[in-house]
Chain A
Amino acid sequence: MGIVRGEEMVLNIGPQHPATHGVLRLQVKTDGEVVSQITPYMGYLHRCFEKHCENVTYEQVIPFTDRCDYLSSMSMNFGYVVAMEELMDIKVNERVEHIRVTMAELQRIASHLLCTGVFGLDLGAFTPFLWALRDRERILDLFELTCGARLLYNYMWVGGLSHDIPNGFVESTYEFLDYFEPKVDELENILAHNKILVERSADIGVMPKDVAISYGVTGPNLRASGVNWDLRKNDPYSIYDRFEFNVPVGEGIKGTVGDCWDRFYVRILEIRESVKIIRQALASMPKDGDVHQSLPKKLRPPKGSIYSRTETPRGDLGYYIESDGSPIPYRLKMRSPAFTALSVMDEIGAGWLLSDVLAILGSLDIVLGEIDR
């Protein structure tokens, strides 16, 4: 007799849908609840980042990088200034490096908090999301203390920072970390070891190692698949080689290596590692040093090109900068980690139930601003 198959139904998830994290459209072919094919359509937030870069000066690119990945603006700034400093051969002083690392790691915590919260929201748990946002607010307070903005900072400049950290920032950060560390355990307890959440995410959407590498998936998603790859360790930029921290790798505690639960849990572990790095960076931060010390008067990089990568909360962020010697970039390409993470959606998402597809999408932690640019 064979298996009786129903007619396939085409279902558009998005562009407006509570679980698409913005304006993404997933066109899924479904047979009942089972999804047989997923075709992502994006570009609903294509804000012409690369065109803007070809029309504004190198300094003016920084606010636009902010707006690309609006959940980890600091990390986006960081990647850009690292690339520019490499291109122009600028060395910044110790204090700047320490502040940058502190900020980037605080941003990583904030971003991962939102991601884990939203993952819970996708699975129907509303409360952990608000708890995560509550703690994220305190990180935003620290940023606000430093540069006056809550979300888009324009804080790291090529060759320095826009402002030095204010008095009391270090103490406030220590205070926050002391408050925050028990809260991570709380978040882990309510989400990670919840029986229903484990049932919903373990063994779901398994991303094998070779698939992840072939699709260019990076960051926590790649590490969850069992690949020990973190640019902070493997290709250290800034001063990351001085700090002691582990790179959490998915171990398949609740299911297979590389499932949704691993991708989610790796982020919680990374929050803890970031706390470690911040503590070290604050402890070893030099008291003196002008943050504007090596700020060039005019940004006019030599003719040439550079491809530079940094580790943002979502993975390898690459900037390809092509300079023709003028103060305006000739071509600037951002290789965004969420773009590659979303491309794997059909590969790992097809064949699961509709609810699982949204769980998988949530576990990939995409930001549409960065995908569409």
Chain B
Amino acid sequence: MYAPATGKQKPVEQEVITEENVFERPDETIAFFPKQVLYDLFVSTLLLLACCALSYVSPAPLTEPADTATVTYVPRPEWFFFFYEQMLMFFPGYALISFGAVVVPTVFVVLLFAVPWLDRGPRASSTRRPFATVIGVLVVVVVLLNMLMAVSRIINFPGQ
């Protein structure tokens, strides 16, 4: 934990900054209570207002009761599964469907868990670790593009 903010800590000038303790204490700190809590509350109230306004402007959807014998309805996933559904398209045929639907996401989640052990470089800023940043940006771009492709497929498909 940080040394307490009250006066007793060692005067900073004498402190010899080494590779290990450079990230020990940030240059300037603010107390959590007044300042940071205010910022957080500001963002939270914005979100709350947005939720309340949206819940009247476009209410939570409730289509007609379920009918499992329909042939006219087109099921669509929620927006946050768009990229997943579009990604399935890249694994055709019965040999690859289970690969693309389950194996690839599990591998992605396992790699996500292992990120701190895959990128062990000392420096944290993204410009100082190009390999991790490039892969991070690639993943984000692929997800966004897949989402965009899914949107373009959904609005253009004769589903309406």
Please indicate whether A and B come from the same complex rather than being unrelated chains.
no
